[in-house]
Amino acid sequence: METITQHQKQVQYAEAYVSDMLVLKNIFLETQHVEKADQNFGLPFLLAKNGREVIAFASLIIDEKENISFKIYDKSRMTEAEKRNFSSRAERYCKNNNTPNFKDPEQLKSSINSMISWLNPE
């Protein structure tokens, strides 16, 4: 009997840049079943790739208690272990980042509003 090996690409992580935003917006629209980005889109800061394809991203949000948190949006192509690893990576990234968006809720709200306006031109 012949053994067939499958090489699964390892998920890679990268910071989110402005050039990534339209891809991230499309993931958000698909996963949330909405037509326009809204406050829940947040401010993306980290993404996960499988090869060249972006399969998930982490985004800073303001939670219901007005605290800075993050949410992960994924295309349902990650295993549970990959999701846990990505979540841990995003959490560490948040803790180690001292820029205003990661520490000041009012600054983050302003940045999210600017991002939404840019993504949804009227």
pLDDT (tens digit, 9 = 90+) per residue, 13-26? Answer: 999 999 999 999 99
User: Global pTM?
Assistant: 0.88
Beta strands in the chain (DSSP E): 12-15, 43-50, 53-62, 68-74
Question: Residue 27's closest CA among 19, 17, 37?
Answer: 37
Output phi, psi for 11, to 5 deg. Answer: -70, 135
Distance separating alpha carbons of residues 47 and 54, to the nearest angstrom: 7
Is the pLDDT score of 8 beyond 70? Answer: no
Nearest-5° Cα angle at 111, 104 to 121: 165
